[in-house]
Amino acid sequence: MLDGRSVVEARYLLKRVTTLDTVNVAANAIIPSFEDHRAVGLGQFLTRADLAKLEGLTLGDIMARMHGTLIMHGQGYTWLASTRGIRTVGGAVPVNRQDRLRGAKTACYARSTWIK
């Protein structure tokens, strides 16, 4: 038992490791296609400043403010769909049994998008 005044000596053996060279990463903070599309007016865009004004809202609440979007709520889940409905051939995304049990209805959903 140590009494606070005892000295304990320990010996540790470490394996040799390989040290890698430094990796330098450079990135452009502006995505060219984002700015090009926004300048032409293709789609809707939210910048970091826009999102800062919406702080505290859920992603579902933010997406509900976008034109053409429909937020469908289920049991603990929210799905993003189009307000344009399923007028186009092949537009409807099949709802699997599990999602149907959670409350999903047949609609034109964004592929692989769900917000929990």
pLDDT digits (tens, 9 = 90+) for 49-106: 999 999 999 888 888 888 888 887 777 777 777 777 655 555 455 567 777 777 777 7
> 69-73 and 78-82 as β-strands: parallel, antiparallel, unpaired?
antiparallel
Q: Helices (H), strands (E): how many in the chain?
A: 4, 3
Helix (H, G, I), strand (E, B) or coil at 63: helix
Domain parsing of the chain, residue ranges: 32-115
Quick check: 65 and 72 in contact, CB under 8 A?
Answer: no
Rounded to an integer, what distance in angstroms lies between the CA atom of residue 31 and that of residue 10? Answer: 54
Res 111: pLDDT: 59
